[in-house]
Amino acid sequence: METTFPLLFAAVVGFGHAFEADHLVAVSNIVTKRDKLNLALKDGIFWGLGHTSMIFLIGLVVILGKVAVDKTVFAWFEALVGFMLIGLGCFRLFQFFRHRKLHRRHIDHEHHPLMDHHHHHHLAYGVGLVHGLAGSGAMILLVMTEIQGSFNSLLYLAIFGVGSIAGMLVAAGIFSLPFSRKLHGKHGLQSGLILLSSVLCIGYGAFVLAVNLG
C-alpha cells in the first residue's frame, strides 16, 4: 500500500512537471515555428519522449547499477539547460531578423516567413533529452526515498514519463495556437510572440546559469 499510493500519482506529478518554467520557455520557443497544430503536438510528444528516455536511462544506471552520482554533477547538468535555453533563444532571434532582412529585399514573399515546414522533431527530442538529464537527479532521489524496490522505482519513472508527455502535449498545443494558419494574417502578433519567447529563453537561461555556476 505504501508503494501503490505514490505510483498512482506518478502520472499527475509528471503532468505538472511538464509545466515548469524552463520546460515551457523552451517548448514555447520551438512551436513558434509551427503553423499546424498536429506538428506542434508532436513537438510536445517528442520533448516528452526525450525527457522520459533520459531520466529512465539514468534511473537504470543509478537504481539497478547502484552507481552513486555526485550532486555537483547535476548542478552542471542544470547549467547545461541554461546554455541550451540561451542558444535556443539566440538562434530563433537570428532566424527572425534574417527573415526581416530578406523580406525587405522582396525575397520569398509567398513562403510564410516565420514557419518551419519540415516534419522532423529532432530539436524537440534533443531539448527533452537535456531537460531529462538536468531533472534526473532530483527525480531519482525522490523515487529512491519514497519507493521500495528497483522494479517499482523504474515503474514510477515510466508512469511519470507518460504524465510528462501528456503535459507537454497540452502545453505545446496551447502555445502553438497563435501561429495556426487561421491567424497567418496576424504577423504583428506572431512577431511579438516570437521575440517574447526568444527573450524569455535567453533571460531564463541566464538565470539558470547564474544559479548553478554562481
* pLDDT tens per residue, range 145-155: 778 888 888 89
Give mean pLDDT, residues 158-170.
94
Q: How far is CA 15 from the centre of its chain?
A: 13
**Grid coordinates of 31:** 512551436
pLDDT over 70, % of the chain: 86
* Residues 6 or more apart in contact with residue 72 via CB below 8 angstroms: none
Domains identified in the chain, total number: 1
Confidence tier at 111 by pLDDT (50, 70, 90): very low
CB 13 within 8 A of CB 89: no
CA distance 112 to 33: 10
pLDDT over 90, % of the chain: 46
Q: Reply yes or no on whether the pLDDT at 82 is more than 90.
A: yes
pLDDT at res. 109: 46
Q: Reply yes or no on whether the pLDDT at 15 is more than 90.
A: yes
Confidence tier at 186 by pLDDT (50, 70, 90): low
* Domain membership of residue 185 as a residue range: 4-213
CB 181 within 8 A of CB 35: yes
Q: Reply yes or no on whether the pLDDT at 77 is more than 80.
A: yes
This prediction has a pTM of 0.86
Site of grid cell 487561421: 182
pLDDT at res. 86: 97
* Residues 6 or more apart in contact with residue 69 via CB below 8 angstroms: 62, 137
Q: Reply yes or no on whether the pLDDT at 114 is more than 90.
A: no
